[in-house]
Copies of this chain bind each other. A is one copy, B any other.
Amino acid sequence: MSISLGEIAARYGCELQGDPEAQVSHVATLSAAGCDSITFLANKLYRQQLETTAAAAVILSAEHAEACPTAAIVAPNPYAVYARVATELHPPLALVSGIDAQASVGEGCTLAPSCQVAAGAVIEDGATLGERVSIGPNSVVGRDAQIGDDTQLMANVTVYHGVRIGRRCLLHSGAVIGADGFGIAQDEAGWTKVPQVGGVDIADDVEIGANTTIDRGAIDDTVICAGVKLDNQIQIAHNVVIGAHTAIAALAGVSGSTTVGAGCLIGGACIIAGHLSICDQVMLAAGSGVSSSIDKPGAYGGFPAMTDEISRWRRNVVRYSQLDEMARRLRKVEKLAEKMADQEKLNNS
């Protein structure tokens, strides 16, 4: 499969510097690209590699076009154009519809004929799979769960009973959707389990990373809105709501009953406490710990100092690295002040 640069430029409304007939057949990095490949420059860290790239063409922004030693596809958002070109050049494998002989499908299930159910997959009673749904090897779809059109579960995914997943979602291996939330009530004897009778409601175009867990609600549902992107090993507790198009990086955790707004960017390993409300368009630096609600869009960071505006937090981070020196300086100025106070007393006596 190959595309001409002219086609790419026309299709994505980009300016082309170079031969419109030149063909590219696969994507590559700036440094590894050969004469049949197309690459991109989106992160300035890699600016230096532009000068020596052997790619057929580079997708980049106007500011770098002049420095490009080969054909340039100039776009305001080169990474988004690259994403689309890469999808054309490297399309996902076509579905092979049908149910593998070593899969297990329960009673009362509704499977569109276009579905693909791989070996070892288990579809429990009453589950519904829409058109072109793909269930990977050894994945499990629980009783009465519903999976929307064109959604794909890779291998070893677990979807619990009653969970609803929208269209065009992608769930990676080891993801567990709908396990019980951590609801326990303390009593004399220790703990009593609080039944988790809510569900999980995942909208369209959601991607869920490997080994990420999303718990079912205690009473109402846990809700993941449209276009949310979750990286690997994220924990979403019961009754959390994640707003549309919010992206969360790996190892982060959102505690029970917290609402995260739309269009947020949550850095890796962030921890958000329970029963909070984070408004739309909040950016959290990696490793942040949030223990109170945020009601103003913006960039925040810090742990355990929470919801500091990010510039103030960054200054505090620098000060933290100087803390021992500050303590020594404080001791010195204390001594000086004491000495002067003694002197003063002496002078005034």
Contact = CB atoms under 8 A, between A and B. Distances in A.
Nearest to A215: B232
A320 B320 contact: yes
Contacts of A10: none
Contacts of A54: none
Contacts of A192: 80, 83-84
B271 A271 contact: no
A22 interface: no
Interface in A29-68: 29, 32, 43, 45
Interface string A159-170: 010000000001
A24 interface: no
B86 A227 contact: no
A148 interface: no
Contacts of A172: 176, 179-180
Interface residues of A, number: 124
A340 interface: yes
Nearest to A39: B219
Contact of A194 (B86, B138, B226, B323): B86
Contacts of A77: 185-187
Contacts of A29: 219-220
Contact of A303 (B180, B209, B304, B324): B304
A158 B176 contact: no
Interface string A209-245: 1110101000110000011010111010100000011
Interface string A82-102: 111011001011000000101
Contacts of A205: 190
Nearest to A81: B185
Interface stretch (A1-9, A13-21, A109-117, A311-319): A311-319
B184 A229 contact: yes
Contact of A219 (B28, B180, B235): B28
A87 B343 CA distance: 74
Contacts of A100: 104
Contacts of A195: 27, 83, 86-87, 90, 92
19 contacts: A26-B197, A83-B192, A86-B195, A92-B195, A120-B120, A136-B140, A155-B158, A172-B179, A173-B179, A182-B209, A182-B229, A250-B255, A251-B271, A305-B317, A308-B321, A313-B321, A326-B326, A336-B338, A340-B341
Given A27-B219, A32-B219, A308-B321, 5 more contacts: A80-B192, A154-B158, A176-B211, A319-B327, A340-B341
Interface of A: 26-29, 32, 43, 45, 77, 79-80, 82-84, 86-87, 90, 92-93, 100, 102, 104, 118-120, 122, 124, 136-138, 140, 142-143, 154-156, 158, 160, 170, 172-174, 176, 179-180, 182-187, 189-195, 197, 205, 207, 209-211, 213, 215, 219-220, 226-227, 229, 231-233, 235, 237, 244-245, 247, 249-251, 253, 255, 268-269, 271, 273, 275, 286-287, 289, 291, 301-305, 308, 312-313, 315-324, 326-327, 329-330, 332-334, 336-338, 340-341, 343-344
